[in-house]
Each structure stands twice: as C-alpha cells, then as structure tokens.
Structure 1
C-alpha cells in the first residue's frame, strides 16, 4: 500500500478520536494518587501514609482481577453494534450489570476473609495494619459501584464512545480529590476520610455513567427483552469468556507481583529502585492502552459487520500509531529518564540503582507495544480462549526466564525475563491472529 493511501485511510481519524480520551482519562489516575498521598502526608503520624498505601494496594489487586467485566463487555457490545442489533447491545449491557452485581454481593459477604488474607500477605506495623483495616472497611462498600462502572466502561468503549468513559473518569477523580480535601483536611477524618471520599465518588460516578448510558441507548434504539437478557446460552458464553479473561488477568497480576517479590531479595535499595521504575511502566500503559482500547471497539464492530477489509485496516492503523507513541515513550525515557528518576526519589543510592536499570525501561515500550495491541484485537474479537492459552504459555516462559536469567544476571536478569514475558504474550497471539480474520469472513 502506498504511503499516501495509507495516511488517507479513514481509520486514522477514528483511532485518535477513540484513543485520546482514554489516554487523558488514564493520566488523571496518578494525580488522584498524589492527592491521596499529600493529604495524609500532612497528618501528624507517618503510619497514615502506609495505611492508605496498603489499603489502596489491596483494592488495586482486588479490582484488577475483575477487569474482565470491562473487557468482555466491550467485545460483545462491539460485535452486536457491528451487526446493528440494538436489542443485543442492550442485552449485553444488562447481562454485564447483573454479573457485576452478583460478584459485588460475594465480595461484600467475603470482605472479612479478603481483608484477613490481604494483611497476612502484606506485612506492616500494627498501626499501619489498623489504619488499612479502617480504610478497607469503608471503601469496600463502593465495590458494587466500581464493578458496575467496569461494565459501563466496556459498554462505552464497545459503542466507540470513549468520551463518555473520559467524562465519568474525570468526574470521579475530580470529586474524589475535592472530597479528600473536605474530609481529611476539613473534617480531620484521616484515613477513613480518604476511603469515604473514594467510595462516595465511585458511587456518584456510577450514577453519572448510568445517565450517559441511558442517553446513548436512546440513540441506539432497540428494546429490553427479558428472555434475551436471561438467555442461558448467552449468559453461559459471557461467563466462559469472562472466566478465560479472569485466568489471563490473574496470571498477569501474579507475574508483576512475582517480579517485585524477586527484586526485593536484592535489598531495600534495589526494591526502592524497582518501585520507582514501575512508575515508568504505568506511564507507558497510559498511552498504549489508548490505542489498544480503540482497537477493541473498532475490531469488534468490523467483525460484527463482516468486513475483513476494514478489520485489516484497523489493525494496521492502530498498530502504526501505537508504535509511533511507543517510540516517543522510548525517546522521552532516553532523554529525560534520569531527571524523572530524580523527581521520584531524592535518595542518591536509589537514584544510582534506578539509572542502572533505566536501559530496560527505554527498550520496554518498543517491546511491550505488540502485546498491548494484540490484546486489544483479541478482546474486540471476543476470542478469549486464545488470550487465556497465550498467557499461560507466556507465563511459563516468563517463570523459566526469571530463574535462568535471574541466576545469571541478578536483578538485570529479572528485567530481561519481563521482556521475554512481553514478547511471548505477543508471539502467542500473533500466531493465531488469522483466526480473527476468519471470524470477519464467516
């Protein structure tokens, strides 16, 4: 394809229309974390910071495990949208909301066990653990709103309205920051104020999301059909897809947790350096997620419409821009990496150790981009078994690499193993990519 023809493809504009709200939405998350830290950082006792950090970590892992509620919903909504089946778009959203409510009920019923296990795995001082328990006992009541919001975010991305997702995210984080200041600085509620601010903002964000979803459904049309919503076959299909994605996500969570645990064996300085550099990984995800999410909605629509030509165009265009942005990340890390490290820590030993590992972070965007994009493609195509199987293979390769390279090169070997993990995730999906095109031709 000639270069001029490639850049004339309509998917370029659509890709950026969908990607920029996600990138901006993601970028608001670290601001919220900074405010949480700042408000408790001005309290008289240091254990408040640790309590909020541990409490937030528990919920990050807990909710990340239920990310399938967003991913599965996106794929099914996009497929139904491509087929122009408005009734099924509504039914997919309803099934996802029902599933999110059922899971939330179980989370609330098992909250005592979840907290006990979390504090058992994450050791802290008595004061820190007590504060984390206070934080958990309040924020957990936001679980129904959080999980329902996942389903709504999947719906918005599936209908290719990422601006709606941005609106909800910005509203939630902005309100959270405001309530942080009121509850902690104004009312003196310390850790419990931070937790209450988060739970309230999550719940009100759900109300806004439901309002926007209602407006979008009026545009889409269709009807709520109880028989279709409660269809055993379709509910079973939803559960099967979500279970595949759940397995994939749990392995992903464990892989990063294991990386940090192994790095901790190198001592406090090495662990601190790794913690600093993991911020680089999170920053990278803000940009790459935008194009992966854009691919999800567009791919599903193209498959639903039986347009293999459009599918190929979307793969090329979203992949091109994701590669461009990953190159920019690598360049920024190359030029400004040491300065970013200096901003994140003032400890000379940690700075020096982090700079030792920095070359891995410069390389990472160019390696990780392919796993991000292929995840987006397969989520949009609702081909979860391939994602599950690919992750299992990649995880086995990663664990072997952690052992082999770790023994050879220490912590540098762990970074090398992480690169193997990214590569294998991409390779295992690239091998079965032709199945996605066959879906569009069927």
Structure 2
C-alpha cells in the first residue's frame, strides 16, 4: 500500500470505493428479494431466505480467507516484504479453490443435513433445496474470490476491490433477473445466477491481480521460490490466524442461522418478513464495513511498520466515520423504511409483519458500528484468539437469551438478535486495552525517541 498521511481525507479516499462495492452486495440481495417477492409467492421468498442462510453459513465459514489475507498482507506490505505479499496471494487462492472443490463434492450431504435441522415445511424446503444446490457450483470460485478480495484490501487497493465487487454483483443481478423472470426458474434460478457471477468474478480478480503484480499466476509461481511459498513459519502463521477466524466466523454465522430457524418456527410469513428486514441490516453492515476494512489495512500496515502512533490514529479516525455513518443510516431507516418495504414486496401479510419490527432494524446501524469497527481493528492486528473468544461468548449468550424470550414470539427473536451487537462490542472491547499495550511495547525504541 502506497503510504499516505493518516488524515480524514485519506481515510475517506480509501473507504469510499469499499463503501460503493460493499453497498452493491446487499443490493443484490434486495434485488433477489424483489425478483422473488414481486411474484407474490411467500413460499418462494421464504425458500430463498432459508437457502441463503444455509449458503451463508457454509460459504462464510471460510470467510477467514478474506479476513486473514487482509491483515497478513497489510503487515507484510507495511514491513516491505514484497515477495511475501505475492506468496500470500498464491497461497490464499490455492487454499480457497481447493476448499471450494471439497464443498462441491460434499454438497448433497451438507444440504440434507442443513435442511433437516432448519426445515420450514415441505414447500419452503423444496425451494431452499433448489437454491442451495445451484449455489454450490460456484463454491470454488467464491472462496478463491474471498482470498483475492482480502489481498487487494490488505494492499489498500480499494478501487480494484470495487471493480471486482461491482462486476460480480452486476452479473449476479442480471443473471438472477434473466433466470427467474425470463426463464421462470424460481429459487433455483436465483442460486444459478449467483454461482455464474462468482465464476465471472474469479476471472476478473485474476486479471486485476495480474495488472498489480505485472505477472500472471504462472509467472508468479516461477519467480517465487517453492521454498518460500511453502515456508513452514509462514504457513503456520497463516493457518493459526485462519483457524481462529474460522471459529469466530462460524460462531457469528450461527447467530444468523439461529435467527432464520427461529423465524421459520413462526411460519412462512414471519420468516419472509424477517428476511426482508435483514436486507436493511445487510446494507448498513456492508456500507459501514468500508471503515472497518480501512481500519484493517491501516492497522495492519501500522503494526508491520512498528508505528504505535499510526495504529492509534487509524483506530480513532475510522471510528469517527463509522459512528457518524451509523447514526445517519439509522435515521434514514426510521423515516423511510416502511416505504422501502412496500416497494420490495406485494404480499400484504408479509409487509405488515415486517413494518412492526422495523424499529429494531433502524437501531442496529448505530449500536452495531462499534462491534464492526472492533472487528476491523483486531483483524488488521491478526489477533484471531480475541476475535474467536468474543464471538463464541456472544453466540452462547444470544442462544440462551433467544430461548428465554421464546414466549414473546417474534418480539423475543428481535430483542435477542439486536442484543448481539452490544454483546460483540463488549466482549471484544475487553481485549482492546491489552492490544494497545502490546503494540506500544513492541514499537522500536528509536521510533519512540523520535516521536518524543
């Protein structure tokens, strides 16, 4: 990452491409919801909701490929280790593609197990099965793209990451519309469209990395010694960080899986309404993640360069933007949310069910901003154990709270879910003082003297 001064202008310049790219991710989910929702079939919409929850749980269990690569790449780049930066890309893409092939081979038992645990009835399960079966064909590409995205963000190449995201999401939306409204494939068409877009994104990502490195995959393999690519210490660090991040990601995904399962128990209308409301939360999370991702790159580069002052300033400036953005999004949802829901769906019962719980959706962007920012700080610092422990505690407390509030129906579901954002901030924030002390203690004495 080309070093720039840590100013608000520099933070915003790095964050806005991520913001645009991230905003397009939930917009595709909204388009999918509209494509199915405008058919007036609540079973199909509920099936997509259930299927998307299953795929998110399975695919994003490997989200460490994005998060781990960002922190490690930023640190290697900050330390001036160009060869290691290139090696991280090759390792990440190879691991992602291999894991994706394993998922593709195991798609039948995974789908059967997931639907048996989360069944919402025969009609919903049939639609969900069609969606999930199609999505698995994009698994190798999807996981490799995770690694490419993490590598680009670690280098601060946010505009390249924006191009990758826009290409994937534009193709996703276009294919979904064509396959559902054009070919009448229903929930399976949504899944097939997304899988096709993931393969297009992989080709695009390889081209972007080729341009940055000045060499394609084969050329990189030739110029990086195999001993370096398979360096034991580097691989152990990669797998140690990724192991903890995988546990953390699975724990948090279980929250959303549990949420969908709780909604499914209350019927197709409630499940569909909750899915619509989750699109609002997705938009807020993905947009505000622009500042969390910027924090990842800036924090990682500061640690790689051994600069405590840059580390602290990166946290402060990115957090300022995130909190202000969360407040603005919350206000917009409060004022405009009902109108947006009305434009998304035609089923009156689903609309009424969604509007009742809209206030919870409006609250999440503001109270969720601290937890998202802390994620960015600890990912950039590659402190996987803290992320893992905080997520496991949060998930355990959430499930207990949801079970205790079940007599209150969907009110209990949303109270428990909203509380997870506070739980995440508190549990991860408890590790922040220790992290700050470690970074301060590890700063080279010469830099401390210069700053003094």
Q: Same fold (TM over 0.5)?
A: yes
With over 3 angstroms needed to count, the CA separation of the structure-2 counterparts of 1:25 and 1:117, relative to structure 1, is: same
> 1:77–1:155: 8 Å Cα contact kept in structure 2?
yes
> 2:73–2:85: 8 Å Cα contact kept in structure 1?
yes
Give the aligned partner of residue 210 of structure 2: 214
- Tell whether 2:416 aligns with 1:420: no
Give the aligned partner of residue 5 of structure 1: none
> What is the deviation of 1:429?
1.9
Alpha-carbon distance between aligned partners in 2 of 1:329 and 1:355, rounded to the nearest angstrom: 17
Give the aligned partner of residue 118 of structure 1: 114
Give the aligned partner of residue 293 of structure 2: 293
> What is the deviation of 1:156?
0.5
> What is the deviation of 1:154?
0.3
Alpha-carbon distance between aligned partners in 2 of 1:52 and 1:192, rounded to the nearest angstrom: 9
With over 3 angstroms needed to count, the CA separation of the structure-2 counterparts of 1:12 and 1:263, relative to structure 1, is: same
> 1:307–1:441: 8 Å Cα contact kept in structure 2?
no
Give the aligned partner of residue 170 of structure 1: 166
Structure-to-structure mapping, 1:377-388, within 5 angstroms: 377-388=377-388
How many pairs align?
432
> What is the deviation of 1:29?
2.8
> 1:91–1:225: 8 Å Cα contact kept in structure 2?
no
C-alpha offsets along residues 167-197 of structure 1, whole Å, 9 cap, x if unaligned? 0111122233444455566667666655444
Give the aligned partner of residue 357 of structure 2: 357
Q: What is the TM-score with the length of structure 2 in the denominator?
A: 0.84
SS of residue matched to 1:65: helix
C-alpha offsets along residues 348-389 of structure 1, whole Å, 9 cap, x if unaligned? 555555444333333322211110000000000000001111
Structure-to-structure mapping, 1:242-261, within 5 angstroms: 242-261=242-261
**CA-atom RMSD in angstroms:** 3.2
- Tell whether 2:372 aligns with 1:376: no
Give the aligned partner of residue 445 of structure 2: none
Alpha-carbon distance between aligned partners in 1 of 2:419 and 2:42, rounded to the nearest angstrom: 39
> 1:394–1:421: 8 Å Cα contact kept in structure 2?
yes
> 1:397–1:420: 8 Å Cα contact kept in structure 2?
no
> 1:269–1:349: 8 Å Cα contact kept in structure 2?
yes
Say which of 56, 70, 77 aligns to 2:73: 77
Give the aligned partner of residue 328 of structure 1: 328
With over 3 angstroms needed to count, the CA separation of the structure-2 counterparts of 1:350 and 1:146, relative to structure 1, is: closer
> What is the deviation of 1:217?
2.2
> 2:91–2:229: 8 Å Cα contact kept in structure 1?
yes
Alpha-carbon distance between aligned partners in 2 of 1:363 and 1:130, rounded to the nearest angstrom: 34
SS of residue matched to 2:306: coil
Alpha-carbon distance between aligned partners in 2 of 1:256 and 1:96, rounded to the nearest angstrom: 26
SS of residue matched to 2:357: helix
> What is the deviation of 1:136?
4.4
C-alpha offsets along residues 58-103 of structure 1, whole Å, 9 cap, x if unaligned? 3232212111110011010011011011011112222212221331
Give the unaligned 5+ runs of structure 2.
Answer: 443-452
Say which of 8, 25, 28 aligns to 2:24: 28
> 1:371–1:425: 8 Å Cα contact kept in structure 2?
yes
Give the aligned partner of residue 67 of structure 1: 63
Q: What is the TM-score with the length of structure 1 in the denominator?
A: 0.86
Give the unaligned 5+ runs of structure 1.
Answer: 1-8
> What is the deviation of 1:345?
4.5
- Tell whether 2:300 aligns with 1:304: no
With over 3 angstroms needed to count, the CA separation of the structure-2 counterparts of 1:125 and 1:92, relative to structure 1, is: same
With over 3 angstroms needed to count, the CA separation of the structure-2 counterparts of 1:111 and 1:77, relative to structure 1, is: same
> 1:78–1:297: 8 Å Cα contact kept in structure 2?
yes
Alpha-carbon distance between aligned partners in 1 of 2:357 and 2:183, rounded to the nearest angstrom: 43
Give the aligned partner of residue 402 of structure 1: 402
